[in-house]
A and B are shown apart, each in its own frame.
Chain A
């Protein structure tokens, strides 16, 4: 019997269906090539999956680099010839469950062909089949999960792995019930400031303990620096100011260390501060709600954050990774339905804000170039917003002399316009040829139940269908599209209603924050994951402590059963008993640990 038959027969004893499917798969996904040591190595698409010299040594080095904590299930992405799985099994205690994700059975068939597997193979559980089936098999293996990736082999099925991770995140979201302490670091001013507000609100509504480190209070001082005429002085002082605010942020974080520091774009945290936070074991994440092509400061910060969330896909994600970011995920914009919702307008408001066509926004170059062709048509056009100085061709339609429009007014305009134009900003003429991300206005208009006509964006189709938001492919086609939609009032209403339903179902900031936290939770099985699952709640901890440390269990039961309890709270509870209270040995150990904890988190 050859290796393939021996291996598959062995597999069949534990999973007959898997063995049968492997026999049918045929293999051939990998090119088997002998390594210098005489062992088999493999290539795919011209790239080595294992070392061309010594695949076993390479696998052992990889396994040495993996971490594991008691009680975790290890989920391995990347099949190859299984050298790395064998090395990992050899390194881990026998009680640790290992699940191998198999997106393509042909690869496993190749692996079965080249050598006979040892007893270690009996420790491995196999997650195979559809994405959902793989997710189910992993979830059934037990929690918490630690995902490890053998990159050379995993890169063959990157899309599948992403989809599987998404399934796992969805499952984590469904289980999430714990309360995180999150510090949200916002910008001094700018477009990400209102987004910060929405994020804080969403996190709070999800039950987390949120502290907004609001730097908008420094905006007036910072903007004074803009008035300096000497650009060298201005830049130097702005840099110093940002550095000072970074220190302020550190001091604020030190006073009450959070589980997660979540920054929004333009948050004043500089790289040395982020590196210091990492040394002090703080988890940090950035939601970069900007066009990475326009604002490029992410290049200096990429390596500083543990997690990046961006509103663009490739090439943005690859660029951030090249710049040193370890974990980058796509997280599109959203709406806050508590603010962005349909309105009932008075007759006066209809008169003031109503029009056939409107646009709300700043006077970017492409808008200045496109909008004049909308003036003088047989429909009414109102242009709202600021930074339109010098746009003489638009003077007749510009409202309020180009004053800035607040959120409440925006909603009225959205409601009172038959066709809301949503033209993404760009510094060039026409539509942005690389237009990919979808702006916040898209979601806000939809949440308000307003009909919109947007320029074509490559990432729009996966967020909204064509029967939810109307698109236009070129500036030249814009007048005709407007005319067409003005003649379709019923369809406009139907589409706007569909779009609103879509936002409420999938695109609120609550959805985004759930996704963001579940990603971080899945990637941090020993830190954020347990909190999200509620493992740190008083009653859960009390049950775990009851046998060995009954006095600790008693102390834990003085807290509300679902309250999250940590060392800090437990130590405070012991101290609160007063100086005359009796201290058990466990109490003393906890107090001692808390002494060291307070020093460990001392940032300043």
Chain B
């Protein structure tokens, strides 16, 4: 293919994982566009998430990765090799980009993302140092692997490690998605319009062992709506969460029915983002919708247990909260305390300890997001500056830059 020497560098950010990961890529995207405001930055993401990718400020072209099509090819080919279908794939890739990108930034340590980058760009920056078949990891990918394996004292947020992978520092301020005005269907059009606190309750989670039990949600919502101050609840989730939402509603008093909306399985991603934006709070264990809420400027309160960890995947930005369980399957839940934080935000920083849980609040500084404990000092020293210096040094050394 011919290259126009005078043309601007074409860059591509690749994020092929799920909703939460895409939203957590926003800081890296923002830093990359700030570093080179003239050069367009395109974004490759799974086709079903393209609407959210288009909300990234200053995004060039959103390139849709059709995973379902690849699955169909793999299934229809049934393991056999035929050169005819290579032609089909070649054509598909040519439709994604007629010319190779100058640079692809890869945020997933997954062969598909790395292969996609190598197919679509002449140069690749990401987890692998030397191509898709080489196991040597970049300094930031090694750090991420170490955190995943050992947990340890890490205080660098996943979004900020994405920045590190791309060779940029975290943005000065947490970026937000640019959400246009979106109509909501049917009764959901009323969400956020009347006075009082609107709370989005994220009822499900990706895996069953990460879901808050229905009985806990019933008690939580009953406690919230029993208070005198006006509040309303919107149940958030996908189609597979509808049964959970119905079970929650069955367990609630009929007296509060007029203050509860069920949006599970009824919204597109843009409509979901709109609902979250119209709410004052988003509460739940599913990190994807929590990240989306945070990225449209809504306060998020995470209830983290099982594999979820506040320091790596807490809601990005200022003033979000995370209740972190000290065990994988909590025996008690911070129901009263969390409801009180919503009703009386000013008292949040004076929260009394809840057995089995610690409460963390998000902050933002030059090293990106940091969660600090409420009412106590973080037992771990903040080593972010040291880690950034060390990994940046290593990265530059590998590039031969001093």
Contacts and interface: CB of A to CB of B under 8 A. Distances in A.
Contacts of A593: 70, 73-74, 77, 89
A536 B111 CA distance: 27
Contacts of A588: 115, 118-119, 132
Interface stretch (B78-86, B293-301, B322-330): B78-86
B70 A548 contact: no
The 7 closest A-B pairs by CB, nearest first: A596-B74, A579-B134, A545-B83, A579-B133, A597-B74, A600-B74, A596-B70
Contacts, number: 95
Contact of B80 (A545, A567, A583, A589): A567
A599 B74 CA distance: 9
A152 interface: no
Interface string A576-604: 01111101011011111101110111000
13 contacts: A527-B78, A541-B82, A545-B83, A549-B86, A567-B77, A580-B130, A581-B133, A589-B93, A592-B70, A592-B119, A593-B73, A595-B111, A599-B74
A57 interface: no
Given A580-B130, A590-B86, A596-B70, 19 more contacts: A70-B84, A536-B80, A536-B81, A541-B83, A544-B84, A548-B86, A552-B83, A575-B133, A583-B131, A588-B115, A589-B89, A589-B93, A592-B112, A592-B116, A595-B112, A596-B71, A597-B74, A599-B71, A600-B75
Nearest to B67: A596
Contacts of B118: 583, 588
Interface residues of B, number: 31
Interface residues on A, range: 35 or more
Name the residue in A565, A568, A579 with the highest tally of chain B Cβ atoms < 10 Å from its Cβ.
A579
A548 B83 contact: yes
Interface in B73-114: 73-75, 77-84, 86-87, 89-90, 93, 111-112
A387 interface: no
A548 B84 CA distance: 9
Name the residue in B73, B80, B119 with the highest tally of chain A Cβ atoms < 10 Å from its Cβ.
B80
A581 B119 CA distance: 16
B78 A281 contact: yes
Interface string A548-578: 1100100000000000011110100001011
A567 B81 CA distance: 5
Nearest to B118: A588
A450 B132 CA distance: 65
B250 interface: no
Interface of A: 70, 257, 281, 527, 530-531, 536, 541, 544-545, 548-549, 552, 565-568, 570, 575, 577-581, 583, 585-586, 588-593, 595-597, 599-601
Contact of B115 (A570, A595, A597): A595
A543 to B, nearest CB: 10
A593 B89 CA distance: 9
Contact of B81 (A281, A541, A575, A595): A541
B135 interface: yes
Contact of B132 (A583, A585, A586): A583
A583 B130 CA distance: 12
B119 A589 contact: yes
Nearest to B116: A592
Contacts of A592: 70, 89, 112, 115-116, 119
Contacts of A595: 111-112, 115
